[in-house]
Amino acid sequence: MARQGGREGQVEFLHEDRDIVVVTKPAGLPVIAPEGGRGRNLLDLVTERLRRRNPKARAAVVHRLDRDSSGVLVFATNARAKRILMDEWAERAVSRRYAVLVEGSMTAESGDLDSWLAPAGPNRMRIASAGEHGALRARGSWELVREGRGFALLEVILETGRKHQIRAQLAAIGHPVAGDPLYGARTDPAGRLMLHAATLEIIHPITDETLRFESAPPDCFFSSLGA
């Protein structure tokens, strides 16, 4: 897993065509403005860039990352692409891999994440019983990259994309994401949630071409390990 280098905090544009824009979202920047509020957000920044060529252009959100996480994110640039991506996201997002720094040492080199998640308030999820009303099954797996200083760097591969899936499931097995007090983390080594969407492979909504986008995690993921 390579290091990102000095781009922490910047929006990086990875791909642009007539239907989609792919960027790297920095930690701390919301995808959209808070409800009823204003302020700097990624959707507006992408739209501003599109309007340099077309004053009527508008980006559209098709999936999200938590405000305090970072990594690869896709926007649609027209109604047709938006509809296809939103309706068929599970089929078109063929590979989603995250770099995640968690607390503690792992007892294995890899493992599965398979549980049911249900809301536990307005902005938190909990592990639920199979088939419980309102619960959705969340599936994925993890592989250990390296350990150090009481932390473990994992690569998490998602099969489903439930709200707070990675955060809730890793906390449930005793390894909360560093910098995530909402799910029980006791450490904050870099002043941010240590979760980064490193790889996204999607099937283009119009051309059906398979596209792969990568964003290496920031240096703080490695320096927290003493690497």
DSSP string, 45-74: HHHHHHTTT-TT---EESS---TT-EEEEE
149 located within any domain:
yes
123 located within any domain:
yes
In degrees rounded to 5, what are phi and psi of residue 46? -70, -40
Number of domains in the chain: 1
CATH number where 76 lies = 3.30.2350.10
- Given this model, what pLDDT does residue 2 score? 63
Spans of the chain, pLDDT less than 50: 5-6
- Given this model, what pLDDT does residue 196 score? 98
Angle 220-97-3 from CA coordinates, rounded to 5°: 30
Q: Is 31 helix (H, G, I), strand (E, B) or coil?
A: coil
Tokens standing for 31?
């995808």
Catalytic residue chosen out of the listed positions 17, 19, 66, 112: 66
What pTM value is reported for the model?
A: 0.94
Contact 20, 89 (CB under 8 A): no
- Given this model, what pLDDT does residue 125 score? 97
1 located within any domain:
no
Q: How far apart are the first and last CA of the chain?
A: 12
Integer angstrom CA distances of residue 152 from 96, 109, 181: 20, 11, 17
113 located within any domain:
yes
Helix runs in 93-190, H state only: 165-172
- Given this model, what pLDDT does residue 6 score? 44
Structural domain of 94: 12-223
CB atoms within 10 A of CB 18: 9
61 located within any domain:
yes
3 located within any domain:
no
Integer angstrom CA distances of residue 64 from 67, 68, 130, 153, 162: 9, 12, 26, 22, 11
- Given this model, what pLDDT does residue 3 score? 60
Q: Which residues contact 10 (CB under 8 A, 6 or more apart)?
A: 24, 26
In degrees rounded to 5, what are phi and psi of residue 7? -100, 10
Active site residue 44: no
Residue 158: which of 200, 124, 125 has the closest Cα? 200
**Rounded to an integer, what distance in angstroms lies between the CA atom of residue 100 and that of residue 197?**
9
7 located within any domain:
no
Integer angstrom CA distances of residue 128 from 8, 46, 72, 93, 134: 35, 37, 29, 25, 9
**Rounded to an integer, what distance in angstroms lies between the CA atom of residue 101 and that of residue 118?**
24
